[in-house]
Amino acid sequence: MKKIMLIFGTRPEAIKLAPVIRELNKSDWATGCICVSAQHRGMLDQVLDVFDIIPDYDLDIMKHGQDLFDVTSKVLLGLRDVLRKEKPDMILVQGDTTTVFAASLAAFYEGIKIGHVEAGLRTMDKHNPFPEEINRCLTSVLADVNFPPTELSKNNLLAEGVAEEAVVVTGNTVIDALLWALEILEGESHDGVKKLQQWILNKIGDDRIVLITAHRRESFGQPFIDMCNAMKELAAMYPDIHYIYPVHLNPNVRKPVNEILGKIENFHLIEPLNYLPFIWLMNRSYLVLTDSGGIQEEAPSLGKPVLVMRDTTERPEGVNAGTSIIVGRDKGNIISKVAQLLDDNNYYQKVAQKSNPYGDGTASEKIISFLKNYLTQTDRY
């Protein structure tokens, strides 16, 4: 039996690796071992609960005021003993966090194979998104096998000199997780979802909802203030539209959001949502205004237009397909594009009905199928 260790630390990583863990658990040729860094403690634990994931190791690195130096060094040092004890045949990491890079470096130091899920996404600007762009690039250098979600991300890797036999296009596992979550929502009644549904019924009824998420560090300061002012003007322009913003816990987000948007009647600032209530809310919304990466992948599967409040995106496939529109952080541009989608139903339908370029829900199966052949061929060693 081969041993694969999955290492992750944030909510998005947990969401995107959950279906990989499920697929691995079905196998008769490998065992899985799970190590979490808890780079984001509370948000990570919510997802572990939803998908019934119990870590074998928990580095529990999160502390108040931690910076990139803290996260990198704690993950690297914390994994030293774990990797030496477990001696996995391979680690799997997902995405672009500091946990991903530090875990890959730790595995490299121990001579352990590295598989990178969601590899090859690029903006070609190492400062944007920060530090995620450079985390992805460095992880690709370290990885033995890369699982890009699309042909475009595969081509990015090949252009950087990654060997073609080490690159396997799979689609994005976030679609696997989304379809799994929709099954859970259909089959079970969850307190968090029921509570949100009742609140929506009492506060909003059948009115249209614009869902907002914004928290990226490269927007902090004046760009973030401009984004908030755009939302404020939109709320005044469209008093019959309700704007729901689950506000990130970072004080650089909370302070301007509460100061600018806190007293607007049709603007609802709520606490961050667990994964299942958030998926339900996204499905209930009319459109999404975000700077998130994962939402750019999820929303098209729900038929929701996505306006991206960033100057660049490492997910240009959605932009090319027409499911996502980059509006940047310019107040006038944000207002103009949201207004177009709210006012022009033909344009809205054109964007909403585009097909999702990020996969069909079989990415996890493809990853595990490839690894079975890869890890059981002894001539690779």
Catalytic amino acids?
A: 96, 118, 132, 215, 217, 248
How far, CA to CA in Å, does 33 sit from each of 1, 20, 80, 84, 106? 12, 12, 15, 13, 16
Q: How far apart are CA 179 and CA 303, in angstroms?
A: 13
Which residue type, as a one-letter code, is found at position 71?
V
What is the rounded end-to-end Cα distance, in angstroms, of the chain?
Answer: 16
What token pair was written down for 99? Answer: 């946990």
Task: Collect all residues with Cβ–Cβ distance below 8 Å to 120 and sequence separation of at least 6.
Answer: 136, 140, 146, 148, 149, 152, 153, 154, 155, 156, 157, 167
Q: How far apart are CA 6 and CA 96, in angstroms?
A: 15
Q: How far apart are CA 75 and CA 362, in angstroms?
A: 30
Q: How far apart are CA 110 and CA 193, in angstroms?
A: 43
Q: How far apart are CA 102 and CA 381, in angstroms?
A: 24
User: Which secondary-structure segment (H or E) carries 104?
Assistant: helix 98-109
Single out the residue of 200, 170, 207, 190 nearest to residue 20, CA to CA.
170
DSSP conformation letters of 179-232:
HHHHHHHHH---HHHHHHHHHHHHHTTT--EEEEE---GGGTTHHHHHHHHHHH
